[in-house]
């Protein structure tokens, strides 16, 4: 994982990934830790490489020190650690180019980057890298480098991060050199002070020692790395060391007894500088030790930089003088600006609550995101214990203290749970708490980053609920079909058993109609599950819409006849073909026609317009029915939605699934469906738009007509663990003129099959012990072994989805009968065996 968030491939991945807060917190903690570190330079450099490698998650982190024309691995971590001390030529490398330009550079793929030393990259396993110069006193002194074993791992955001760390390193170098020089000066001053206290009798020796001390001091000052200048009361230079020459470019003989301001202060600032110096001398400020001022400074070549002047009053041989230490603070100001920008960035983050805690869990800082998330202002939150954000139950279980302890022990802890806002409302939070170690490794402060994940949690719960609903619908559909099967068989038996009793005939018709309605409801439930889970699949081909219209009208004709309605089909000129699934298109149009029939008055006319409109095929159903209110038009295609409460109208039955299925089928074909109505009582218009096929071709084959009755008596084996279903189907087969036997489990089925070979097997799939798939494998193996005639095996199951049909076909079944099985479907299977 990378920490970029701007333009590179890693940057884009960071924007997309919910773990952004972890990377942000890591950089904040690392930067803050190193900014306050007081380690010696070697230990500090090693800590920088170790920390950068751990936080950035890269293969290696290296600091290369510039030594003439070579680069020395001074500190390294990861795969490069074993190369510490290795020297490499600066020329011909990305680091050397970085030093020359004094700017950070990125190599996204070292294998094809001419700027890099490829042999060196291969030696350390660097497939991509980012380098940045450490600039101190205007010159590059080192290079900070991150390397990854994978290409394309770094971008512009890495440059900004490395520049900030380079500024920290330069500041540390300056601080260590200044501290060392000050110690040396203090030691020398102590020697001088001790020498001055020697009695006059030792004056000769004292003067000799003093002269030695002065020589040593001059040597120290001449070789110091910090610019040291002495001036008299008039502001004229009386001493100028080599470091001042290096910093400003002027040699001592050029500045001696000249006004200091004209050599180190830009002309536009000299008047203010002189006024400040005069005030300093006149007001007694000179007695204040180590007065520090910041001022703009100028080098001999005209370049300007920010400088810090530390001035002190000293007396030498009865004369009042002033010593000045001058530092180039450009890097320090850059680091300060970087800190300021980082603080502004943290304060501007609104999606994350970011705040600091001390070792006792007391809030010490508070950003705008924290105020937005928790509702507390900074004044209300700072100074209070962070248990304020936990629920009472969590506080009672000492969860805040435990969390601090874990973060202190492991360095970082991530957790999710309920948190409390100022108004008492709760939200689901993802929180990260990281310890910021001090110099001795013990926990000093903590940084907490929290994000509101309530929406994600609710979405997960909704998805889980939807998944459970789909599973429930599938189970419910299967369980309902099993008891419907023997009822359908019983109706088929009543149809086959002629009766002149009008009451018997009427009762049979009632049962038949209600059974068909119940079967339709079960089918709709299963379709609802497929729609919501996106499991509808298409078997596409070139389909002639005339065939779709013919089959849909034929399927809807019983509904029209029952309500004495008339269907008028208005065909456009020429054939219209689409790319699609003929079965699903018939299903969609049949739903629209049935919907129009159900909501139109008896005796009314329903029109079906078919034709091409530009590059689109149109199927439009127009009725004279009850119409749809404007408020309901936008929701008629939503799942389980009906305009009126159940029972409000006698003609409004069903589950509110049909139009949802129509929309799903239309969208799967790349089209859409729309509904229009002028209001209640003014009819409705449903338009189904489908893309035209690119080239006209023969349509999908029409369903085969039922075959002729079998011309010989067949041996039929019915296998079903539901005895009522098995026995009733056996009776139906017998009444069709064939000989049927029943088996109530898979083991018995194979026994009866071996005992007397049947012509047809009607086989249930879901049985305890041996399933239907186990039984058909046994049947096919027996037929292959003895070379007997092919046996027709039809799956008889409550599972009727496209996936279920494909599964039975792949298992070797000749037909798929979905419970409850209609009499005509049984006859088709028996016809197959008689051919």
Q: Where are the alpha helices (DSSP H) in 310-446?
A: 330-348, 368-374, 378-381, 392-396, 399-410
What's the pLDDT band for 288 if we cut at 50, 70, 90?
A: very low
Helices (H) and strands (E) in the chain, counts: 27, 28
User: Residues 6 or more apart from 259 whose CB is under 8 A from it?
Assistant: 234, 235, 236, 237
Q: What percent of the chain has pLDDT over 90?
A: 8
Mean pLDDT of 324-336: 78
Neighbouring-strand partners of residue 718? 742, 762
Lowest-pLDDT range of 46-50, 174-178, 651-655: 651-655
Beta-carbon contacts of 761 under 8 Å, excluding residues fewer than 6 positions away, are 716, 717, 719, 749, 753, 776, 779, 791, 792, 793, 794
Structure tokens at 384: 């209070």
Average pLDDT over residues 469-496: 67
- Quote the longest CA-to-CA distance of the chain: 154
Residue 607, both tokens:
């029109």
Q: Please determine, for residue 145, whether its predicted confidence score (pLDDT) is greater than 80.
A: yes
First and final C-alpha spacing in the chain: 67
pLDDT band at 528 (very low <50, low <70, confident <90, very high): low
In this prediction, residue 385 carries a pLDDT of 92
Query: Does 761 have pLDDT greater than 90?
Result: yes
Q: How far apart are CA 494 and CA 504, in angstroms?
A: 9
Q: What is the pLDDT of residues 96-109, one digit of tens each?
A: 889 888 888 998 98
CATH architecture of the domain formed by 177-333 = 2-Layer Sandwich (3.30)
Backbone angles phi, psi at 401, to 5 degrees: -65, -40
User: Which of 764, 796, 582 shows the shortest CA–CA distance to 669?
Assistant: 582
Top-level CATH class of 536-691?
alpha beta
Q: What is the three-state SS of 570-588?
A: EECCCCCEEEECHHHHHHH
Q: Phi/psi at 501 (nearest 5 deg)?
A: -75, 115
Q: What is the mean pLDDT of residues 484-497?
A: 70
Looking at per-residue pLDDT, the higher value among 485 and 451 belongs to 451
What lies within 8 Å, CB to CB, of 618 at 6+ separation is 609, 610, 611, 612, 687, 688, 689, 690
Question: DSSP code of 475?
Answer: H
Query: In the predicted model, is pLDDT for residue 289 greater than 50?
Result: no
Choice between 270 and 116, residue whose per-residue pLDDT is larger: 116
Share of the chain above pLDDT 70, in %: 72
pTM of the model: 0.35
Instruction: Average the pLDDT over each of 20-29, 83-92, 556-565, 717-726 and give the range with the smallest value.
Output: 20-29
Pick the closest to residue 568 from 538, 599, 609 (CA basis): 609
Report the alpha-carbon distance of residue 173 to residue 178 in Å, rounded: 9
Arithmetic mean of pLDDT, 209-231? 66
Edge to edge, the sheet with strand 672-676 lists 566-571, 605-613, 616-622, 685-691, 672-676
For residue 17, pLDDT beyond 50: no
Give the pLDDT of residue 794.
Answer: 92
Say what the pLDDT of residue 747 is: 92
Q: Do domains 9-176 and 536-691 have the same CATH topology?
A: no
CATH number of 349-452: 3.30.450.20, 3.40.640.10, 3.40.50.720, 3.20.20.80?
3.30.450.20
Mean pLDDT of 315-342: 74
Q: What is the 3-state secondary structure (H, E, C) of 166-193?
A: HHHHHHHHHHHHHHHHHHHHHHHHHHHH
Both tokens of residue 140?
A: 């590059």
CB 798 within 8 A of CB 766: yes
pLDDT at 12: 44
b (16+ CB within 10 A) / e for 611-638: bbeeeebbbbbbbbbbbbeeebbeebbe
pLDDT over 90 at 290, yes or no: no
154 three-state secondary structure:
coil
Q: How big is the chain by its Cα radius of gyration, in Å?
A: 45
Rounded Cα distance between 708 and 41, Å, is: 98
pLDDT of residue 340: 62
The second-level CATH assignment, the architecture, of 9-176 is 2-Layer Sandwich (3.30)
Say yes or no to pLDDT of 762 above 90.
yes
CA angle 566, 567, 572 (to 5 degrees): 145
Q: What pLDDT sits at residue 347?
A: 57
Question: Token pair 């379709």 is at which residue?
Answer: 527
Q: Give exposure, 300-330, as e/b (b: 16+ Cβ within 10 Å).
A: eeeeebbbbbbbebeeeeeeebbbbbbbbbb
Strands (E) located in 39-190 = 60-67, 70-78, 87-89, 105-107, 128-136, 139-148
In this prediction, residue 384 carries a pLDDT of 92
**Is the per-residue pLDDT at 752 higher than 80?**
yes
Neighbouring residues of 635: CB distance < 8 A, sequence distance ≥ 6: 641
Q: In the predicted model, is pLDDT for residue 253 greater than 60?
A: yes
Q: What angle (nearest 5°) sits at the alpha carbon of residue 802, between those of residues 799 and 804?
A: 40
What pLDDT is recorded for position 515?
A: 63
Residue extents of the structural domains in the chain:
9-176, 177-333, 349-452, 536-691, 715-834
Mean pLDDT, the chain, whole residue set: 77
> Among 173, 181, 214, 227, which Cα is nearest to 40's?
173
CATH superfamily of 715-834: Response regulator (3.40.50.2300)
Among candidates 697, 699, 400, 744, which has minimal Cα distance to 546? 699
Contact 28, 3 (CB under 8 A): no
> H or E stretch including 591?
helix 582-598
Task: Give 132-143 pLDDT, tens digit per residue.
Answer: 998 888 888 889
Q: Between β-strands 443-452 and 566-571, what pairing exists: parallel, antiparallel or unpaired? A: unpaired
How far apart CA 38 and CA 201 sit, in angstroms, is 47
Q: Is the peptide bond before 820 cis (omega within 30 degrees of 0)?
A: yes
For residues 716-737, average pLDDT: 87
pLDDT at 99: 87
- Provide mean pLDDT across the span 820-825: 82
For residue 604, the Cα-to-chain-centroid distance in whole angstroms is 55
pLDDT in tens, 23-78: 555 665 666 666 666 778 788 888 888 888 877 778 788 888 888 889 898 888 88
Q: Which residue has the tokens 């599938």?
A: 474
Give the residue from 742, 738, 739, 752 showing the smallest Cα distance to 719.
Answer: 742
Annotate 360-393 with b (16+ C-beta within 10 A) or e (fewer).
ebebebbbebbbebbebebeebeeeebbbbbeee
- pLDDT of 15 reads 44
Q: Which residue has the tokens 């009386």?
A: 238
CA dihedral 583, 586, 591, 595 (to 10 degrees): -170
Does 227 or 464 have the greater pLDDT score? 227
- For residue 708, what pLDDT band results from cuts at 50, 70 and 90? very low
Structure confidence by residue, pLDDT tens digits, 683-694: 889 988 888 886
165 with 144: CB under 8 angstroms? yes
Give the whole-angstrom CA distance, residue 497 versus residue 514: 20
Match 């109530």 to its residue by tokens. 744
Evaluate whether 501 touches 631 at the Cβ level (below 8 Å): no
Name the range with the highest mean pLDDT among 288-302, 461-475, 688-702. Answer: 288-302
């Amino acid at each position: 994982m990378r920490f970029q968030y701007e333009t590179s491939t890693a940057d884009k991945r960071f924007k997309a990934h919910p773990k952004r807060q972890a990377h942000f917190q890591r950089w904040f903690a690392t930067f803050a830790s190193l900014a306050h570190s007081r380690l010696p330079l070697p230990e500090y450099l090693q800590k920088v490489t170790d920390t950068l490698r751990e936080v950035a998650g890269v293969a290696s982190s290296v600091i290369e020190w510039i030594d003439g024309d070579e680069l020395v691995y001074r500190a390294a971590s990861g795969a490069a650690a074993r190369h510490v001390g290795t020297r490499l030529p600066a020329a011909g490398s990305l680091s050397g180019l970085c030093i020359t330009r004094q700017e950070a550079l990125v190599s996204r793929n070292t294998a094809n980057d001419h700027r890099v030393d490829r042999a060196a990259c291969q030696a350390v396993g660097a497939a991509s890298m980012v380098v940045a110069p450490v600039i101190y006193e205007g010159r590059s002194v080192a290079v900070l480098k991150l390397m990854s074993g994978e290409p394309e791992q770094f971008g512009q955001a890495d440059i900004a991060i490395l520049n900030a760390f380079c500024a920290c390193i330069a500041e540390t170098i300056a601080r260590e050199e200044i501290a060392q020089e000050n110690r040396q000066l203090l030691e020398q001053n102590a020697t001088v002070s001790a020498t001055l206290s020697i009695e006059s009798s030792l004056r000769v020796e004292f003067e000799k020692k003093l002269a030695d001390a002065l020589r040593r001091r001059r040597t120290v000052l001449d070789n110091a790395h910090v610019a040291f200048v002495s001036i008299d009361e008039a502001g004229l230079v009386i001493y100028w060391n080599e470091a001042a020459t290096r910093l400003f470019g002027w040699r001592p003989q050029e500045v001696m007894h000249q006004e200091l301001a004209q050599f180190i202060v830009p002309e536009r600032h000299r008047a203010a500088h002189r006024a400040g110096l005069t005030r300093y001398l006149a007001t007694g400020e000179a007695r204040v030790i180590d007065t520090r001022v910041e001022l703009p400074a100028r080098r001999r070549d005209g370049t300007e930089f920010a400088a810090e002047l530390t001035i002190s009053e000293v007396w030498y041989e009865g004369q009042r003088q002033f010593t000045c230490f001058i530092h180039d603070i450009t890097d320090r100001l850059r680091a300060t600006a970087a800190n300021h920008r980082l603080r502004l960035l943290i304060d501007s983050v609104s999606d994350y609550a970011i705040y600091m805690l001390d070792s006792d869990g007391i809030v010490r800082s508070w950003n705008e995101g924290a105020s937005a998330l928790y509702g507390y202002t900074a004044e209300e939150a700072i100074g209070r214990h962070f248990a304020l954000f936990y629920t009472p139950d969590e506080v009672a279980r000492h969860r805040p203290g435990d969390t601090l302890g874990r973060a202190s022990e492991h360095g970082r802890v991530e957790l999710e749970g309920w948190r409390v806002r100022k108004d008492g409302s709760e939200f689901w939070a993802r929180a990260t708490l990281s310890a910021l170690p001090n110099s001795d490794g013990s926990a000093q402060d903590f940084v907490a980053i929290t994000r509101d994940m309530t929406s994600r949690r609710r979405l997960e719960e909704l998805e889980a609920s939807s998944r459970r609903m789909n599973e429930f619908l599938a189970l419910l559909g299967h369980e309902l079909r099993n008891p419907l099967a023997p009822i359908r068989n019983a109706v088929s038996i009543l149809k086959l058993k002629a009766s002149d009793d009008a009451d018997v005939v009427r009762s049979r018709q009632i049962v038949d109609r209600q059974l068909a309605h119940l079967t339709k409801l079960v089918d709709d439930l299963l379709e609802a599950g497929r729609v919501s889970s996106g499991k509808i699949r298409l078997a596409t081909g070139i389909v002639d819409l005339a065939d779709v219209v013919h089959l849909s009208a034929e399927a809807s004709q019983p509904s029209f006849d029952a309500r004495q309605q008339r269907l008028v089909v208005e065909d456009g000129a020429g054939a219209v073909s689409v790319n699609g699934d003929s079965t699903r298109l018939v299903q969609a149009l049949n739903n629209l026609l049935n919907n129009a029939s159900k909501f139109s008055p008896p005796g009314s006319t329903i029109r079906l317009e078919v034709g091409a409109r530009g590059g689109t095929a149109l199927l439009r159903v127009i009725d004279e029915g009850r119409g749809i209110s404007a408020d309901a038009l936008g929701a008629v295609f939503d799942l389980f939605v009906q305009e009126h409460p159940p029972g409000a109208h006698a003609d409004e039955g069903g589950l509110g699934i049909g139009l949802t299925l129509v929309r799903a089928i239309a969208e799967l074909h790349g089209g859409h469906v729309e509904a229009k109505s002028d209001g209640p009582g003014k009819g409705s218009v449903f338009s189904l738009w489908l893309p035209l096929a690119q080239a006209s071709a023969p349509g999908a084959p029409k369903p085969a007509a039922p075959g002729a009755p079998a011309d010989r008596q067949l041996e039929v084996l019915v296998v079903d663990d539901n005895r009522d279903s098995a026995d009733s189907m056996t009776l139906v087969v017998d009444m069709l003129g064939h000989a049927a036997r029943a088996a109530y489990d898979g083991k018995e089925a194979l026994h009866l099959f071996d005992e007397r070979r049947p012509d047809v097997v009607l086989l249930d799939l879901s049985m305890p012990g041996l399933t239907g798939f186990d039984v058909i494998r046994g049947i096919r193996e027996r037929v292959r072994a003895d070379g007997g005639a092919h046996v027709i095996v039809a799956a008889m199951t409550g599972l009727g989805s496209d996936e279920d049909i494909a599964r039975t076909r792949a298992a070797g079944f000749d037909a798929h009968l979905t419970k409850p099985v209609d009499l005509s479907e049984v006859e088709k299977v028996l016809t197959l065996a008689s051919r």
